[in-house]
Chains A and B, each alone.
Chain A
Amino acid sequence: MTANQSRSGMAFAALALAIVAIVILLITFRGLWFIALPVALIALVLAVLSGAGKPKGGVLVAGYVALLLALIAVTGAGLATFADLSIGRDYDVYEGVRG
């Protein structure tokens, strides 16, 4: 695998993971933050690393879009984490009462 192929893979993987994190947040909001947060962080790291070398064309665009979406996902997941931890464990995401 060449360096260019590796960067391309990182950029598109970052894009995919960022979208997955945002979808998880939109569907479950704070309910699955413990999945959304690490996924969003991995997307962010990959989006940053995909900037090594001189990416061009679609890879460059994918990398920056992934970076933007990953930042949104990390922020959302961070807020969801804060919310969930401060709400307490006796209240689930579906607004039901446990026990």
Chain B
Amino acid sequence: MRRRGVWIRVGIVVAWFVILGIVGALVLSRSEPETHARILDHYKYGSIGAEGRSGVPSSLWLALPEVFPDLLPKGRGKGYERVGLIYEKGHKRPIGTSFRETQIGMIGLNCAVCHVGTLKASKDAPRQIILGMPANQFNLQAYLNFLRKVGKDKRFTADTLIPAMKKADPDFSKTDELLYRQYVIPRTRTALRDLDGDFSWLDSRPTEGPGRVDTFNPYKVILGIDTGKTVGTADLPSLWNQRPREGLYLHWDGNNDSVDERNISAAIGAGASNSSLDRPALKRVKDWILDLKAPKYPRERIDQPLAAEGARVYASNCARCHSFKGKLVGKVTPINVIKTDRERLDSFTKELVAKQHEGNHDLPKFSHFRKTNGYANQPLDGVWLRAPYLHNGSVPTLTDLLSAPDERPDVFYRNVDIYDWDRVGFISRGTTANRIGFKFDTSERGNGNGGHTYGTNLPASEKRALIEYMKTL
């Protein structure tokens, strides 16, 4: 009886922690991804699970450009538009970003960030947003560098950030303030400093520029493989017509023939991990892009008789490697034959393949990756919107691609979404390009514009016809 009082109090303590544990588990397990009934909206704004590994707290993410505008690259637009993210009217966040409702709410990236591009028919024409197109305007490296700089900036404090968050979000409560001040802001800062370390290898490579990404060196960092001096920068691809791509060798170097694995690998690139990946959400995207068609080149701008003539030139010179029914499409042409820049090829190594197939470090266990000795022959659907050309985006237009390598421009400008209807590609030279574009220097490592000389010896009339036909693909 004398110890009864002690046991009652022990019971209270146990009950307290049991209830606390249950409440804590309920709060911490809250994870509701943003989903949309319409697949178009889901593609643009829905979650694929990237917030779980690399998300940034929502209120903070929205406030960062307001607090650190000087750390964004100079250029068009404001806020995240400076790194090429696209805003639609009525949306608080840009295309390619997703939201997950947790106790604080996280923002991550999704497929659309790299696979939605823009097009203007002329300088003053309205901007068209094209789903599935390579994100010719998105500068992933600039986005990462912004976050890296933010994490190291002395202004990254609660006193600086909280007023900006309150301004951006009228619902920002006192509880939010306490949570952000005591945990979220300092924790995010630590995570951003980790990000800075993970991507420090970028500083010793040529600037990637908009519309391009080094896909596999980040994998090496996760897997503990030395990135060495390799430069794996390549153009962002389109996402159209995935069904006929099943079984073809994918990625620029043809290192994988599974569309599923390619999709999962890309989701990892967008920031997901094996445990955070939202497979049902990714499947929705996968099913949709199986038959997503590339937009047609404006019919009134095609000389149909000339295109018909070009179809014959295409059939005899290009179709074997580039038509969906071609015998060599999706197969790898050895580097000593294709002779395009080999940096991307060399950056993907046997060691990386072995590690990818182990499935460690919260990465999926892949089984279809392989090391190749060249670049894969790509189908050319929607090729008119896939400029600049070659795997590294080193040749601005189809006209240039059909010129001998030494006649292709050594320096040109990317990041201009005004279409060049004459040369077939985007405007890449002249005053506008000079003013708003990213200067692409083909003498930099990984940027070589040599090789792929097919068609360069055709008579000028056949080249014109071929280009006219390629507009129709």
Q: Are A48 and B183 in contact (CB under 8 A)?
A: no
A83 within 8 Å of B (CB atoms): yes
Cα A48 to Cα B189 with chains together (Å): 40
Q: Are B5 and A54 in contact (CB under 8 A)?
A: yes
B187 within 8 Å of A (CB atoms): yes
B182's nearest neighbour on chain A, judged by CB, is: A29
**Could you say which residues of chain A place their CB within 8 Å of the CB of B406?**
none
Q: Are A86 and B12 in contact (CB under 8 A)?
A: no
B20 within 8 Å of A (CB atoms): yes
A97's nearest neighbour on chain B, judged by CB, is: B154
**Could you say which residues of chain A place their CB within 8 Å of the CB of B3?**
52
B190 within 8 Å of A (CB atoms): yes
With an 8 Å Cβ cutoff, the count of chain B residues facing the other chain is 25
**Could you say which residues of chain B place their CB within 8 Å of the CB of A83?**
182-183, 186-187
Cross-chain contact of A71 among B8, B16, B157 (Cβ < 8 A): B16
Cα A54 to Cα B28 with chains together (Å): 41
A22 within 8 Å of B (CB atoms): no
Cross-chain contact of B193 among A47, A75, A90 (Cβ < 8 A): A90
**Could you say which residues of chain B place their CB within 8 Å of the CB of A91?**
186, 189-190
Cα A51 to Cα B1 with chains together (Å): 11
- CB 8 Å contact bits of B144-172 with A (1 = contact, 0 = none): 00000000001011110000000000000
Q: Which of A15-52 contact B (CB under 8 A)?
A: 29-30, 44, 47-49, 51-52
B6 within 8 Å of A (CB atoms): yes
Given that A47-B9, A48-B9, A71-B16 are known contacts, is A95 also in contact with B190, CB under 8 Å in the complex?
A: no
Cross-chain contact of A67 among B12, B20, B156, B187 (Cβ < 8 A): B12
- CB 8 Å contact bits of B20-46 with A (1 = contact, 0 = none): 100000000000000000000000000
Cross-chain contact of A95 among B8, B10, B16, B158 (Cβ < 8 A): B158
Q: Are B6 and A49 in contact (CB under 8 A)?
A: yes
- CB 8 Å contact bits of B192-216 with A (1 = contact, 0 = none): 0100000000000000000000000
Given that A88-B190, A95-B159 are known contacts, is A30 also in contact with B13, CB under 8 Å in the complex?
A: no
A1 within 8 Å of B (CB atoms): no
Given that A75-B20, A95-B159, A97-B154 are known contacts, is A48 also in contact with B187, CB under 8 Å in the complex?
A: no
B89 within 8 Å of A (CB atoms): no
Cα A48 to Cα B190 with chains together (Å): 39
A58 within 8 Å of B (CB atoms): no
Cα A29 to Cα B354 with chains together (Å): 47
A55 within 8 Å of B (CB atoms): yes
Q: Are B187 and A86 in contact (CB under 8 A)?
A: yes
Q: Are A51 and B157 in contact (CB under 8 A)?
A: no
Cα A54 to Cα B4 with chains together (Å): 9
Cα A75 to Cα B183 with chains together (Å): 15
Main secondary structure of the interface of A (DSSP, over half): helix
Nearest Cβ distance between residue A75 and chain B, in whole angstroms? Answer: 6
Q: Are B158 and A55 in contact (CB under 8 A)?
A: no
Cross-chain contact of B13 among A52, A67, A87 (Cβ < 8 A): A67
Nearest Cβ distance between residue B421 and chain A, in whole angstroms? Answer: 52
Cα A96 to Cα B2 with chains together (Å): 53
Given that A67-B12, A71-B13, A71-B16 are known contacts, is A51 also in contact with B5, CB under 8 Å in the complex?
A: yes
**Could you say which residues of chain A place their CB within 8 Å of the CB of B185?**
95
**Could you say which residues of chain A place their CB within 8 Å of the CB of B158?**
95
Nearest Cβ distance between residue B213 and chain A, in whole angstroms? Answer: 29
**Could you say which residues of chain A place their CB within 8 Å of the CB of B10?**
48
A53 within 8 Å of B (CB atoms): yes
Cα A51 to Cα B157 with chains together (Å): 46
Cross-chain contact of A52 among B5, B156, B186 (Cβ < 8 A): B5
Cα A96 to Cα B185 with chains together (Å): 12
A49's nearest neighbour on chain B, judged by CB, is: B6
**Could you say which residues of chain B place their CB within 8 Å of the CB of A97?**
154, 156
Cα A88 to Cα B10 with chains together (Å): 34
Nearest Cβ distance between residue A60 and chain B, in whole angstroms? Answer: 8
Cα A38 to Cα B284 with chains together (Å): 51
Nearest Cβ distance between residue A13 and chain B, in whole angstroms? Answer: 15
Top 7 nearest A-B pairs by Cβ distance?
Answer: A51-B5, A88-B190, A95-B157, A87-B186, A51-B9, A48-B9, A51-B6
Sample (27) of A-B pairs whose CB atoms are under 8 Å apart: A30-B182, A44-B13, A48-B6, A48-B10, A51-B5, A51-B6, A51-B9, A52-B2, A52-B3, A52-B5, A53-B2, A54-B5, A64-B9, A67-B12, A67-B13, A71-B16, A75-B16, A75-B20, A80-B182, A83-B186, A83-B187, A87-B190, A88-B190, A90-B193, A91-B189, A95-B158, A95-B185
Q: Given contact pairs A52-B5, A71-B16, enumerate 14 new A-B contacts (beta carbons under 8 Å).
A: A30-B182, A48-B6, A48-B13, A51-B6, A52-B3, A71-B12, A75-B20, A87-B187, A88-B190, A91-B189, A91-B190, A95-B158, A95-B159, A95-B185
Instruction: Give the interface of A toward B (CB within 8 A).
Output: 29-30, 44, 47-49, 51-55, 63-64, 67, 71, 75, 80, 83, 86-88, 90-91, 95-97
